[in-house]
Amino acid sequence: MNNGLLLLLSLVGSVIFIVVATTRWKLHPFLALLFAALAVGAGGGLAPAQTLTALTGGFGRTVGSIGIVIACGCIIGFALEKSGCAQVMAAWVLRLTGEKRAMLAMSGTGSLVSIPVFCDSGFVILSPLARSLARKTGESLAGFAVALSMGLYATHCLVPPTPGPIATAGALGAGLGSVIALGLVVGVFVVATTYAYARWIGRRLRLEPGEEKVSAAASAYSVAPTGTLAAFAPIILPVVLIALKSWVDTPARPLGDGSARLALSSLGDPNIALLIGVLTAWWVVRRHGRATFSAWTGDGLRDAGTIILITAAGGAFGGVIRETPLGSLIGSALGSLQLGAFSVVVPFIIAAGLKTAQGSSTVAMITTASLVAPLLGSLGLADGYGPVLATLAISSGAMMVSHVNDSFFWVITQLSGMTVAQGYRTVTVASAIAGITGITVVLLLGIALN
């Protein structure tokens, strides 16, 4: 048995182990992910020290990138729920859209927020609203979680200024304006199909949003004391700050490189933006008292601790996989395919293979771009809209598929209270639908533009 096949079998076996261990054996996902990571390292031929370095490195990078964001998001979520602000937000959305379109509103909101904001951060910020809307409408939280997560996922992968599509467009020489314009077109169809799946799975998988965590003091108010705008402020302000950072940091440098850009770039860092969101939440619910907010903070942090550890274990699993030669093996094998008029499918398949193997959409996009760039001429994608279509094909492939080695999978499942099996039925299937929809639209665009 050659090393490549052994590595592939170890990866498949580790994923099966995670699913069986967490669902049938009731092993905690944190432990299942770490054991699986060690098994993949051994199957990939890594030395024990190399495996441990990759495992701890992946764990640490994940905590460093999303630890504060998740902690602050949980604090904001508890404060909004227990103060009654989440009820006010949900009531406002329902007045605007009606109960029948509340899930569609969640999907659309996610797709707008994730243009400047990473999908992980966006889900953390918006999940309290999704949970509250599920309570108000009486629908399953599973549908709202899928609608929100896939709305975020679509624009995160398809529309700059998120790093993946920007780096891919740059590597392939695609015009950024065309990538944004056509990426939005593809994104509309991705959001539509994943919303349809959210409606479908929401009727078949009942996931309770839990009791509204409203304090006795908050229940005395029929509306939030400071009004609807203030209720939304802890969510809106971080999103606006992160969006401004994306704007000022674009290559065009609209504000130059002076102090204004540096200030907005610092304030828009997700960690700082979410900390500002916490301060905003404290100001909004200040009538409940400092001791009450401190207690809500403790509650939020207790939930955050488990979520951060599981998500970081997923990062450790992905870190070990990235240290193995699996990515280069898949890229070399798929890059040799010749599909004629459907040549744009080649970068899609490579990106999908890399995404499925190692978990990170951004890593899959950047890696695939480096592999595909020298092949554009032979694939007939070097001229006209070819680089743009190749960029969007890679972005579509980078959505295929989110599972246990993807930190976003764990953010969604843990914040929504899903089991691993439920995560596969919701997040994994929905992300596959997103990717297939994306490449289908890219193929149609290729026919229309040529």
Give the predicted TM-score (pTM) of the model: 0.71
For residue 197, the 8-state DSSP code is H
Residue 432's pLDDT is what?
A: 96
Distance CA 391, CA 385 (A): 10
> Residue holding tokens 């108000």?
136
In tens, the pLDDT along 254-280 reads 888 889 999 998 998 888 988 999 999
Spell out the residues 6+ positions from residue 262 whose beta carbon is closer than 8 angstroms to its own.
none
Residue 185's pLDDT is what?
A: 93
Residue 116's pLDDT is what?
A: 56
For residue 412, the 8-state DSSP code is H
In angstroms, the Cα distances linking 137 to 14, 57, 94, 141, 196 are 39, 43, 9, 10, 17
- What string of pLDDT tens digits covers the 450 residues of the chain? 566 777 778 877 887 787 778 767 888 878 988 998 898 888 888 899 999 999 999 899 888 877 888 788 888 878 877 887 877 777 787 788 777 888 988 888 888 777 656 788 778 878 888 888 898 888 999 999 999 999 999 988 998 767 678 778 877 888 777 888 899 899 999 999 999 999 999 999 988 876 655 544 444 443 445 588 888 888 888 878 877 887 888 777 888 888 999 999 899 888 898 899 999 999 988 888 888 899 989 988 987 888 788 778 877 887 887 788 766 666 566 555 555 557 888 889 888 987 887 777 877 887 777 667 767 776 778 888 889 999 999 999 999 989 888 889 999 998 888 988 899 999 999 999 999 999 999 999 988 887
Strand, coil or helix: 179? helix
In tens, the pLDDT along 193-233 reads 999 999 999 999 988 876 655 544 444 443 445 588 888 88
Strand, coil or helix: 229? helix
Please say whether the dihedral angle defined by the alpha carbons of residues 397, 207, 100 and 204, taken in this order, is positive or negative.
positive
Instruction: Supply 13's token pair.
Output: 């076996």
Residue 433's pLDDT is what?
A: 96
**Average pLDDT over all residues of the chain:** 83
Distance CA 402, CA 430 (A): 9
Distance CA 86, CA 434 (A): 29
Residue 133's pLDDT is what?
A: 87
